[in-house]
Amino acid sequence: MLKINDGSLHEECAVFGFFNGGNVNAAQIAYQCLFSMQHRGQDGAGLAGASGNNVHLHKDTGLINEVFSKQVLDEFNKDEILVGHVRYATSSSVTMLDTQPLVMHGYEGFIAMAHNGHIVNGNEVRRELQKRGVLFQTSVDSEALMHIIAGNRDGIEAGIKDLIATVKGSYALTLMCPDKLIGVRDPWGIRPLAIGRLGDCYILASESCAFNAIGAAFIRDVKPGEIVIITSSGLQSIQTQPKKNTSLCVFEYVYFARNDSCIDSVSVYQSRIRMGRYLSKTEPVEADIVSGVPDSAIPAAIGYANESGIPYGQCLIKNSYSGRTFIQDGQLNREQSVRMKLCAIHENVENKRIVLVDDSIVRGTNSMYIVKMLRNAGAKEIHMRIASPPVRFACHFGINTPNQKNLVGSYLAPEALAKRIGADSLAYLGIEDLVAAVGNKQIGLCCGCFDGVYPMPIEDVNA
């Protein structure tokens, strides 16, 4: 099966947890929440459900609607606690082994866990555990996290504190053991995790758009270094020491998160509108129409249009069902892949001077085909405006970035890049303006793929 490589950065996962404090259909809630976070991973999905000491698991490669038939879902209807996961695989081969949640059975009973993130000192942690006789069944670093937690005889909370003290990297976790749902966010706060409530039920999710999907109320974000424990008595918090340089991934606002999500008290949609406004102020151009590359660049295009006074209009239409196809690998070249995903709306393009706003440029190949598509549809001028700085460095915290030599922003100046992709001009949003547009007052931001400044040393990275 072909994964259309669209030249973008990709999120690697979303996590989910549910504590059924009422008498609701747990399976339906889980399905809707995972479905609303499908944009964070399309390669695999899974759910573990528990009632008392009994745990059961279903996971597979594929989209949510491919992994869960009605018959499979019905098995989760009456569960008291659930954890779930959607996965984006970093390699082109997608195997069942990499899917989550992971389930282990220890002395105190079962533990099930879903992980979003990447462990920077994963090799070192794995070797330490192996020296102590721990046997690994998978190559995913999430398994090491499970062994650290399960290996502490003082209970799951003590195991999680061990993990926070030992592990370097990004992790948003949802875990369950008999009668408890637990959420954990790494002490840097690199990956997001939010708490929602539906009647007497609690939900944990990577993005608050999951709560919108089921009509649940957003309660708050899990804080960096916080462990939240949900039982039939309610929610209890253990706050471990957060890092001084808390660093939420700024790419959540640029591209990854869904427009209706709110992360660390900042609306993703409004932050993108502000990115477009700042971009219009710093990189103005005369044009007839402002348009955005669907979907994540549309709010930035609206912001650019509002600030500049140039009318907003749709120049490109997206086929939302093109994420995965059954066309065999090699049958489509990259240009055909882009055309499967996007098409020009001729009426809005012909004889127009267009400001085309995109959220980011990674390899530059997508932009080249989009510009060609608009030229073929009769565009007079095309001015690319990018609502983030050039991507110049690799990510080491769970985002699939191409090798640095393939990051076009690391070796081509804007004028040269405009020439290469066939645009009349190209300009980026500056890093200070990006940070100001996000306006996150609660915790700091990681901008590592733009400025090479990471929240922690990365010499021992195991990528």
Minimum distance of ligand SF4 from residue 65's CB (angstroms): 28
Judged by CB under 6 A, the residue of 449, 456, 458, 461 near ligand SF4 is: 449
Q: Are 372 and 349 in contact (CB under 8 A)?
A: no
Catalytic residue among 13, 249, 262, 449: 13
Q: Which of 28, 19, 83, 86 is nearest to 213 (CA)?
A: 28
DSSP string computed for 82-125: EEEEEE--SSS---GGG-S-EEEEETTEEEEEEEEEEETTHHHH
Site string for ligand SF4, 196-235 (x = CB under 6 A): ----------------------------------------
Minimum distance of ligand SF4 from residue 287's CB (angstroms): 30
- Count of residues touching ligand SF4 (by CB under 6 A): 11
Whether cis (ω within 30° of 0) applies to the bond prior to 260 is no
Strand 381-386 and strand 353-358: pairing? parallel
**CB nearer ligand SF4, residue 4 or residue 249:** 249
**CB nearer ligand SF4, residue 250 or residue 287:** 250
Query: Residue 190 interacts with ligand SF4 (CB under 6 A)?
Result: yes
Minimum distance of ligand SF4 from residue 256's CB (angstroms): 8
**CB nearer ligand SF4, residue 257 or residue 446:** 446
Q: Which of 100, 106, 191, 173 is nearest to 398 (CA)?
A: 191
Catalytic site includes residue 13? yes
Q: Which of 219, 165, 225, 216 is nearest to 191 (CA)?
A: 225
Reading the block at residue 294, the tokens are: 């669907």
**CB nearer ligand SF4, residue 61 or residue 360:** 360
φ, ψ dihedrals at 28, nearest 5°: -65, -40
Q: Are 360 and 10 in contact (CB under 8 A)?
A: no
Minimum distance of ligand SF4 from residue 54's CB (angstroms): 37
Minimum distance of ligand SF4 from residue 446's CB (angstroms): 3
Q: Which of 294, 250, 258 is nearest to 275 (CA)?
A: 250
Minimum distance of ligand SF4 from residue 399's CB (angstroms): 4
Minimum distance of ligand SF4 from residue 409's CB (angstroms): 12
Which region among 107-115, 175-183, 348-356, 442-450 touches ligand SF4 (by CB under 6 A)? 442-450
**CB nearer ligand SF4, residue 58 or residue 115:** 115
| Number of C-beta neighbours around residue 66 at 10 A | 13
Which region among 17-25, 139-147, 392-400, 410-418 touches ligand SF4 (by CB under 6 A)? 392-400
Judged by CB under 6 A, the residue of 447, 456, 458, 461 near ligand SF4 is: 447
The three-state (H, E, C) secondary structure of 150-217, written as one string: HCCCCCHHHHHHHHHHHCCEEEEEEEEECCEEEEEECCCCCCCCEEEEECCEEEEECCCHHHHHHCCE
Query: Residue 446 interacts with ligand SF4 (CB under 6 A)?
Result: yes
Site string for ligand SF4, 269-308 (x = CB under 6 A): ----------------------------------------
Reading the block at residue 319, the tokens are: 């086929």
Minimum distance of ligand SF4 from residue 445's CB (angstroms): 7
Q: Are 126 and 144 in contact (CB under 8 A)?
A: yes
Judged by CB under 6 A, the residue of 55, 249, 275, 361 near ligand SF4 is: 249
Q: List the interface residues with ligand SF4, window 344-363 (CB under 6 A).
A: none
Query: Residue 171 interacts with ligand SF4 (CB under 6 A)?
Result: no
Cα–Cα dist 287/353, whole Å: 5
CA Rg value for the chain: 22
Q: Are 141 and 99 in contact (CB under 8 A)?
A: no
Which region among 13-21, 90-98, 213-221, 246-254 touches ligand SF4 (by CB under 6 A)? 246-254
Cα–Cα dist 103/176, whole Å: 9
Binding stretches for ligand SF4 (CB under 6 A): 190, 249-251, 395, 397, 399, 446-449
Catalytic residues: 13
